[in-house]
Structure 1
């Protein structure tokens, strides 16, 4: 019975943490984004995020994005520097057409840092990407 259940693989949807300068305070802030690199729109995106380690757990954050057009991105949340020392998990569920998909994106502790920056697709900014 289980072998008959088809669970589709999520492709071309990423989470990136980007370092950006805050326009008002002139500080270098870390912000998490969802990237839709597909040729189709995504609807009703539900995001549950948390940070954790063996000793610490952050409160769970919940976000909703009603619609994310094809080949675009949207900000999820600001990430404080203290949270970067933890594992950061983003559980993302969304609709592509009439099909519901979900995936867990995990940034391992201390992997979000200046040394790990790379060019992020679509954004043309530097950040850390999880596929």
Structure 2
């Protein structure tokens, strides 16, 4: 039963949407998994999708599935490129990984219009501007 399963909290893991570069014509964005743990993540899988409404019409993007493999301690890895056109949608990233033989999973949700300048911060390890979602604690 679900109540008998251990509560595996996902801590010191984040998903960041990062501005890689900008020109007067366009900005270029990537999505990263940030591992601030002292341990490597094993067998990492990430699925991503976007959904919402635009001009009164329901929109859904394709579901993308990424088999990442292992992510070393205190490191980051690129998940995918992201187009500014989907920033008006809900962008959802479902992360699953193993740590110490136990499975962990968490859904990270960027709500519509949350990827804006006022929400930008300096992303740890990458040292670039971006919008970060995660439960980060001091080690």
Q: With the length of structure 2 as denominator, give the TM-score of the two structures.
A: 0.86
Given the alignment of the two structures, is residue 13 of structure 1 paired with residue 13 of structure 2, yes or no? Answer: yes
For 2:69 and 2:2, how far apart are their aligned partners in 1?
32
Residue in 1 that maps onto 2:40: 41
Report the Cα offset of residue 5 of structure 1: 2.3
Inter-partner Cα distance in structure 1 for 2:127 and 2:2: 42
SS at match of 1:59: coil
Aligned-partner Cα distance in 2 for 1:5–1:46: 21
Shift of 1:64: 1.0
Q: What are the Cα deviations for residues 31-88 of structure 1, in whole angstroms up to 9, with x where unaligned?
A: 1000000000011111000000041100001101111000000000111111111000
Q: What corresponds to 2:112 in structure 1?
A: 109
**Cα RMSD, aligned residues only:** 1.7
TM superposition outliers: structure 1 runs of 4+ over 2 Å: 1-5
Aligned-pair distance for 1:27? 4.7
Which SS does the other structure have where 2:70 is aligned? strand
> Residue 2 of structure 1: CA displacement?
4.2
Matched position secondary structure for 1:20: strand
User: Take 1:3 and 1:84, find their aligned partners in 2: how far apart are those partners?
Assistant: 36
Any unmatched runs of 5+ in structure 1? none
Which of the two has greater strand per residue? 2
Q: Which runs of 5+ in 2 are unaligned?
A: 135-139
Alignment match, 1:53: 52
**Does residue 125 of the first structure (1) align with residue 128 of the second (2)?**
yes
